[in-house]
A = this chain, B = another copy of it.
Amino acid sequence: MFYTSANIRDIIAEILAAKKEQGGVKSLYFVGCGGSLGALYPAKTFMERECAGIKSALISSNEFVHSTPRDFGKNSIICLACHKGNTPETIAAARLGREKGAAVIVLTWLEQSEIVEHSDYTVLYSFDASPDHLAGDIDYAGEKTMCALLVAVELLQQTAGYENYEKFLAGREMITTVIRKARAHVAQRALAFAQEYKDDSVIYTMGSGAGYGAAYMESICIFMEMQWLDSSSIHTGEYFHGPFEITDVNRPFMIQVSEGSTRPLDERCLKFLRTYAKRIEVLDAKELGLSVIDPAVVDYFNHSLFNNVYPIYNHALAEARKHPLPTRRYMWKVEY
């Protein structure tokens, strides 16, 4: 049986009912690899900030398998993201979850895949499968990032209660419209970005808060993996404690200025970059329309916004560099 984001409330209710006599749910682990790990980042941040009573962590699949938290078991939920359901490390983590009696929620895009055998609840998420993710006609509220967030939000709401629950659901109703407008808004500047940076060999991304995962994904999945550029994602709270010494008039930075509680961190970096760097691309969530979402919950929507605006830039950059995004030298080609 397959589920969608619309079923997550019921899935959590069912897990809580089933675990009630065994002592309830005491931990929630988010597990994945690469882009699928980054996509779970907002949910991890949500648990860290909003939830007192349930242990939570975000762990890369193979580390989770080899260095498993000792409490992982019948009082746990493991929420895994696995795009095509065939990532061996994530399959191993799901299998471990079943062996240990945890409730296993798999977020995936494909119905037919190996990981489904090791899943209690397989949630099919929405995904823009068009070339370079340009179509933009999907329901962004059903993406894997939002599914993982819903797992966290519902778990809190159905246990201790989440005071901003209705506001969160209202924000979710708005995110698709915000993203579509934002993607159109950056279309022209993405072309200019591509021309400006097409001959560079390094590009940094920057971000903070629940949106940091989007900066991580852009750095490792696009710049490194799909464009073979040197890159790193710098947390804007960390920039002044080391990384900022590399700043000069030549080095390119793509900075997420988020909406919500960590915006001051991002703005402080932007001010510095505007003084000492010259080549910066700013993704400002306020300018991109995210402020329609209630301030009490807006933090958790930055990731979806940034992560879906990046493809417009990525397509333009790949075209200008004549390096198509699907190009690989190792992935799917050699043994590793």
Contact = CB atoms under 8 A, between A and B. Distances in A.
A104 to B, nearest CB: 19
A67 B237 CA distance: 12
A84 B240 CA distance: 16
A264 interface: yes
A276 B336 CA distance: 11
B52 A71 contact: yes
A63 B208 contact: yes
Contacts of A328: 245
B57 A55 contact: no
A245 B55 contact: no
Interface string A292-336: 000000010000000000000000000000000000111100101
Interface in A19-78: 26-27, 33-37, 48-53, 55, 57, 59-63, 66-71
Contact of A336 (B61, B202, B272): B272
Chain A interface, >50% SS class: mixed
Contacts of A264: 62, 66
Interface string A219-245: 111001110111111010110111111
A120 interface: no
Among A209, A219, A246, max chain B CB count under 10 A is at A246
A62 B265 contact: yes
B70 A50 contact: yes
B261 A243 contact: no
A299 to B, nearest CB: 7
A126 interface: no
A262 interface: yes
Nearest to A60: B237
Nearest to A73: B52
A157 interface: no
A89 interface: yes
B237 A220 contact: no
Contacts of A220: 238, 241-243
Contact of A238 (B34, B50, B272): B34
A81 to B, nearest CB: 11
* 5 closest Cβ pairs, A-B complex: A34-B241, A232-B232, A52-B71, A220-B242, A60-B237
27 contacts: A27-B52, A33-B237, A33-B240, A33-B241, A34-B241, A34-B242, A35-B242, A48-B57, A49-B67, A49-B69, A49-B70, A55-B55, A60-B237, A61-B237, A66-B261, A66-B262, A66-B264, A67-B261, A67-B262, A67-B299, A89-B237, A202-B202, A219-B232, A224-B242, A230-B246, A240-B331, A276-B334
Given A35-B241, A224-B242, 19 more contacts: A33-B241, A34-B238, A36-B241, A48-B57, A49-B67, A49-B69, A50-B70, A52-B69, A60-B238, A67-B261, A89-B237, A224-B245, A226-B245, A232-B232, A232-B233, A244-B336, A272-B336, A276-B330, A276-B334
